[in-house]
Structure 1
């Protein structure tokens, strides 16, 4: 089994020897999931964090009226979970689904806690992941408050070009906080070369 992608992801922030990496791998479960599979449901205990080796996932919130708000996409080489609920072992506020056929690694919270003790460098690794996630979300909130929908769409397409091509327009619109109809107008305008 080839673990190069996850090994490269880890080595961006910490250095593990071969024995440490094998301990890490022993705590992971590699799963192939077809498109539309749900790996976490809103209201379910959030026990896992996931690494995307290939494919793409979407995390969304479903309100009482049934309206979806996409919180994030996770593409190759990204980690995803309902972070607040994962860290605090609460019922999930988000649902995470595969929007493409995907290969993911699952890491349980209990196994992460074990890694913190067995290989203390993992505290540094996950601290960096948390910091990066916080920064990403803070920037997204500021962009949502300060930029036009057109500018937010351009940032989205630059950040997720493959996702932008392959997911439903309503999912992109829910991520941007606009209606699918307004997104269609933006795309039509861009297609004509207008700003």
Structure 2
């Protein structure tokens, strides 16, 4: 139950659970530690868990046919990570989820999600809210990629997620933003000019 405190605090921001519901929830989750570089999910495998990050940082990415890595998401403390499409449909994942730091996560196994929803109906509402937020964020990112310049995309990331930028290599940030690390370096130099 000690490991679950950050998760319970997070859930309390959205729904109120009774003490019995919290105990039931904690009985259905798995706590796991991962090493830096370790994969939580690999492309082609079926996503069997939804992961809440207690500590650490992960990246979600796919590798194209040319072997090029494309980062679509970073996750840090109090964030979620998983290939939701693979998890919901129980089909092979399009993405990898890899730890950029030693990470601790709470995992919700696929087999127990339905029993959680039956035992605590409020959790279904909670997960719906989380998925709605993720969907909206994903749509906004698509629009930003089409409508903002490279400089504007970097500035937006820098202002919204300074705590992530400090924890990831520049080439990964460049991949996430959709350009090369050399171009990112050029953009940052231009922003430093008086």
More displaced stretch, 136-145 vs 4-13? 4-13
- Residue number in structure 2 paired with 1:59: 60
More displaced stretch, 129-138 vs 102-111? 102-111
Q: Distance in 2 between matches of 1:120 and 1:99?
A: 34
Q: Look up the SS of the partner of 1:65 in the other structure.
A: coil
How far 1:74 sits from its partner (Å)? Answer: 0.8
- Residue number in structure 2 paired with 1:141: 142
**Residues 60-91 of structure 1: CA deviation (Å, up to 9, x unaligned):** 01111111111111111011110111111111
How far 1:2 sits from its partner (Å)? Answer: 4.2
How far 1:41 sits from its partner (Å)? Answer: 0.1
- Residue number in structure 1 paired with 2:44: 43
- Unpaired runs of at least 5, structure 2: none
Q: Look up the SS of the partner of 2:164 in the other structure.
A: helix
Q: Distance in 1 between matches of 2:158 and 2:152?
A: 10
Q: Distance in 1 between matches of 2:35 and 2:192?
A: 32
Q: Distance in 2 between matches of 1:158 and 1:169?
A: 16
- Residue number in structure 2 paired with 1:171: 172
* Matching of residue 90 in structure 1 with residue 91 in structure 2: yes
**Residues 12-43 of structure 1: CA deviation (Å, up to 9, x unaligned):** 11110111111111111111212111110000
Q: Distance in 1 between matches of 2:136 and 2:3?
A: 31
Q: Look up the SS of the partner of 1:53 in the other structure.
A: strand
Aligned pairs (5 A) from 1:1-195: 1-193=2-194
Q: Look up the SS of the partner of 2:166 in the other structure.
A: helix
Q: Distance in 2 between matches of 1:189 and 1:6?
A: 41
Q: Look up the SS of the partner of 1:166 in the other structure.
A: coil
How far 1:168 sits from its partner (Å)? Answer: 1.5
Number of residue pairs matched? Answer: 193
| TM-score between both structures, scaled by the size of structure 1 | 0.95
How far 1:155 sits from its partner (Å)? Answer: 1.4
How far 1:100 sits from its partner (Å)? Answer: 1.3
